[in-house]
Structure 1
Amino acid sequence: LSDPGGKAVDRVDAWYAGRNLTKQTMQRYTADLPGTDPAAWVDGPVGGTPQNAAGWAWPSEPVAFALYFTDNITSTGPSPAPTPMEQALLALLNGAQDSVHAALYALDRASIRDALIAARGRGVEVQVVADDDAYAESQYYPHFRALEQAGIPLVLDNRSSLMHNKFLVVDGQAVWTGSTNMTDTCFTYNHNNSLVLTSTQVAYAYNLEFHEMFALGRFGRAKADNTPHQFGGEGAPLEVYFAPTDGVESQILEEVARADQTIAFATFFFTSQALADALIHEAGQGVAVRGLWDRLGAANASSQDERLCAAGIPVKVEDFGGKLHHKFMVIDPEGEDPTVITGSANWSASGTDQNDENLVILHDAAAAQRYYAEWEKMWNALGGHTLCWPTGVPSLFLPLVGASWASG
């Protein structure tokens, strides 16, 4: 690359990215680094061309998704027994042919560890980003070290805030994400949800985020809001945002403000006053709001459960064996814009403004009804002693056929 006077100002001397198997071009990621620096380049979209690889203007493609929930209401402790959610992830990893890029907060599930090592062994490019504090914990360290000893490169965030993601990008075509850490406890004792998003464009966005952390060593506010956010064609049925750069909390607040009928949420930690304000406002406008809280999260001095309860919003604080580790909200599952909000971020200053996290917003009736069914199953499994409901039973909540209003 030369300036108008013919002076060379940049150059590239090798193929630093691009994949023949998936037909991904080599795309310039940043002009802040010289073209001879491998970190200046990323793989373009799967099936990319020189015409569409340099920007977001590719033809829109539909996004296929699969939803998974743990089934741990009666669990008495962590177990090595395989679960349907785990088996779905293993099928994805065992089918990887080209690349697995994993951003993992915690890892002690032997099957996942071994699947990553096996992928590396059959020639798949496996790369991992992890949180430095979690990496050093005694229960996780042997498993992360096993990856490194198998030749898998691993980059730590080395900062006080968390690299709290739980996502994997496979072959530039599918993304696994959600609230589930790769641990015995999260698969078999805690309550979690995971999604597989099959879309080369969604995978590309997650790979850009991964590249910032793995190749450039940028975490937290050192990253940029530089990924596409809307996918799936007209109406943007899927949105993806990354914390702390992409305004995650403001995206949640925008969806809450659009509610017409109902909001149901399940949360681990919820200390955001702005989100509590928004829910109280919507309840005052006639939207029926209910919430499920983890008891550890509810015990936090800044937790908003008592404030919502005092405002007349029905809240239950769980007494399950494992943690209610979800971070999801269902809005208007039978309305005009049925919406699911989920991901890795707790609804707190750390979760939205400091940690490395990801947020998924699905505008889809089937997804919203499936998440609501999971929410209602947990609500109905909790006894009346877990309920804070100071103003009595509301006359209307969710207009779902066969919905149960029992507080038990």
Structure 2
Amino acid sequence: MSKVTSVRAYCNNEVAYVAWAIDDKIDDCLGFEVTRVYIDERGRIIRRADGSEDRVKCASWVPFKGQRNPKWIEQDTGVWPVQKLSWRDLTLRKKRNRADRRPEDARVRYEVRPVGELKPGLEAVPSNGKEFTTEIKRDSKGNPVKGEDGKPVRTRIRAYEGKPRPLAYLAPAVASNDIHVTRTRGSFQSTFTNGILAAQWLRNVLLADGVIEPDELIKKLENPKDGHRKYLAGDVIPLIHNLFAREGEFYLALYELEDSELQDILIANASRIHVILSNTGLGKGKQWDVRNKEARRALVKAGADIQHRMFNNSIHIGHNKFVVHVPPDGGARSVFTGSTNWTSTGLAGQTNNALLIEDDKVAGVFLDYWHRMKQDVLKVPRPFGKGMNDSQQNPTFRKSNELPGEVEAADGTRITLWFSPNMPQRKKPTSKKGASVPPDLSYVYHLMRRAREAILFLAFYPGQKGNDCIIGEVIEIGRNDTTLLVTGAVSSAQAMPNYIATKKKDGVVVEEGESPSTFDEGNVSIVRAARIDDRNLLDDFGAEQLTARGGIGAIIHDKLVVIDPKSDDCHVILGSHNLGFKASYSNDENMVIVSHNRPLAEAYAVHILDVFDHYRFRAIETERARKGKKPWSGFLEKDDRWQDGYVEGRKGALIRYFAQM
């Protein structure tokens, strides 16, 4: 009989990604049960207080055809198995039945076991005891019915609709490698937001009272005490709190500052901080910097050392978001950077990453850039919201950023640091000859061209139609090397390489545009963020949120590239830089490239896979709807034909890469 030949697991501090391989089609296989097994530092299975082994079957929500799960109640993969050869363990840290998170610093492995229909002679999959559940009883108007004690009355119901499908094991379980769930990897602390809002669990949270108010979600994200905000922000907020609990001084360069909790941290440390605060975009009343106005005023009132870096035009932004910590005794400095804006949506309403680098030399390079930026004094408008069409960085500052800072760590990790702007021109030329590739992106392109196996990426809006940015470059690389796996996701419709803008003449549309959600060519696969909505409804799946502010704002806000994450010759590219020409020509930016650090590369790769897999399903369904095609049924198949695409090699190339030993 065919079998599972290998299982490999990878993780960061939020999510695990498990991939496995089979040597051929497994007859009668209806999917795989995936079990998380907790282990100690020596690899021994941990036992609970009652003496049983600490095993947890991974949660699942999608039932078989003929069943329904309209209330989106959790079962597990022993009831509704995995009908593919990979699994994202989203409940590794995040509980789905309440806004709680499990502690990090756990060690686990996974067991993958094929299951099929229960037949004589086969070992039955035991019941999980979740055939029934309770829910709040409601009256005809949808209001909770309360009992004599004043508390809502709960009634017992079946957990899902349809006849249960008894399953049996077809073969023994195959175990993965052991993994450590932690944000600390040597001198790095990497963490990620959980800000994927297009999710069924969040929809159900917001619908708990029967209606989703227009500003309900953003109000939750702005409230520091709200449990769902903390849940969505992950470890980013605790990491910032821990950083500012240290003694010493802090040097910050921020684009946006619009979150009460982070603002309070800075006000509480006003005597120890030095802030370069840039302006936000054009707001109401055609005034610049509306969103930073409150925080800017509070910092000034608190007596903080602050420099107002005001561009107040559409060409330039001071896009950095980093903090350098300098201890009082001359000890090792550190730097906090990444893609996370200091806003409520940045923390909890978008996908983002944050990295704390505990390295004195790296922090020193950042601090030198901070001082050079402060010396590049810009005129301060009066009032602050006034437009400044000519405001830009001076030539000396641009020239100083032409070369990178390079640091070699003791463990063999190489860290290359680039800062922007690093081109003499104010903005990217628009001539037909094309713009010169900036030095930082030229270096990134060089690393991408040397990729041997895989390039993974996430991007917000690096460039329109994928031009003059990493998207166009990575597609060209994938076309020239058809064995290379190229996988990524973008936030903006305009960033997709197959985007066609609507053309107008005298205000009249002369050519309709197109905004495809997917791009697939050979082993190149790019999707853009999408949601399940009323026009694309899939049975038990309900309409989802996409952004926190009613369709306005970024969805994927990461700026990430990971090259060959399974190789020692790997690279992670991150920071504030949007990975396009505009960032290098026009904006204050930082870009961090960490090379030869496989644990960090795997952690970032898992984040990319998590975001890509989540939005790929939604993007495909959106694309089917756009083309008038029939959507996926939304249910598991009732026979073993779901394996055919994997066995024939038509699908699963990325899974096979990660399933390899």
Q: What's the TM-score once normalised by structure 1's chain length? A: 0.74
Q: What's the CA shift for 1:166?
A: 0.5
Change (3 A) 1:244 1:229: farther
Decide whether the 8 Å contact of 1:267 with 1:324 is kept in 2. Answer: yes
Give me the whole-angstrom Cα distance separating, in 2, the residues matched to 1:197 and 1:113.
23
Decide whether the 8 Å contact of 1:106 with 1:181 is kept in 2. Answer: yes
Output one character per residue of 1:193-233: Cα deviation in whole Å (capped at 9) or x when no partner.
01001111111111111001224427464411376323324
Change (3 A) 1:234 1:189: closer
1:162 aligns with 317
Residue 241 of structure 2 is aligned to residue 128 of structure 1:
no
Decide whether the 8 Å contact of 1:94 with 1:119 is kept in 2. Answer: no
**Residue type of the partner of 2:366?**
Y
Decide whether the 8 Å contact of 2:255 with 2:319 is kept in 1. Answer: yes
Residue 341 of structure 2 is aligned to residue 181 of structure 1:
yes
2:295 aligns with 143
Decide whether the 8 Å contact of 1:267 with 1:346 is kept in 2. Answer: yes
Residue 421 of structure 2 is aligned to residue 244 of structure 1:
yes
Residue 358 of structure 2 is aligned to residue 198 of structure 1:
yes
Decide whether the 8 Å contact of 1:178 with 1:344 is kept in 2. Answer: yes
Q: What's the CA shift for 1:400?
A: 1.4
Give me the whole-angstrom Cα distance separating, in 1, the residues matched to 2:359 and 2:579.
27
Question: Equivalent of 1:231, from 380, 389, 408?
Answer: 408
Residue 241 of structure 2 is aligned to residue 90 of structure 1:
yes
1:108 aligns with 258
1:365 aligns with 598
1:318 aligns with 529
The Cα RMSD (Å) is 3.0
Unpaired runs of 5+ residues, structure 2, are 1-184, 204-216, 283-287, 328-332, 379-392, 423-437, 502-514, 532-545, 548-554, 625-648
Give me the whole-angstrom Cα distance separating, in 2, the residues matched to 1:87 and 1:220.
37
Change (3 A) 1:395 1:185: closer
Give me the whole-angstrom Cα distance separating, in 2, the residues matched to 1:108 and 1:209.
24
Change (3 A) 1:326 1:145: same
Decide whether the 8 Å contact of 1:168 with 1:176 is kept in 2. Answer: yes
Partner-residue secondary structure (3-state), 2:340: coil
Q: What's the CA shift for 1:190?
A: 0.8
Matches within 5 A, 1:206-355: 206-217=366-377, 219=393, 221-223=395-397, 224-225=400-401, 228-233=405-410, 235-245=412-422, 247-271=439-463, 272-273=467-468, 275-283=470-478, 284-285=480-481, 286-298=483-495, 309=519, 311-312=521-522, 313-319=524-530, 321-322=546-547, 323-355=555-587
**Residue type of the partner of 2:295?**
H
Report the count of equivalent residues.
334
**Residue type of the partner of 2:342?**
M
Residue 658 of structure 2 is aligned to residue 400 of structure 1:
yes
Unpaired runs of 5+ residues, structure 1, are 1-61, 404-408
Q: What's the CA shift for 1:256?
A: 0.5
Identity %: 22
Structure whose alpha-carbon radius of gyration is higher? 2
Decide whether the 8 Å contact of 2:518 with 2:528 is kept in 1. Answer: no
Relative to total residues, which structure has the larger strand share, 1 or 2? 2
Q: What's the CA shift for 1:338?
A: 1.8
Decide whether the 8 Å contact of 1:105 with 1:181 is kept in 2. Answer: yes
Change (3 A) 1:293 1:112: same
Matches within 5 A, 1:32-111: 64-73=187-196, 74=199, 77-78=217-218, 79=221, 80=223, 81=226, 82=230, 83=233, 84-95=235-246, 97-111=247-261
Q: What's the CA shift for 1:346?
A: 0.9
Q: What's the CA shift for 1:340?
A: 1.0
Residue 304 of structure 2 is aligned to residue 152 of structure 1:
yes
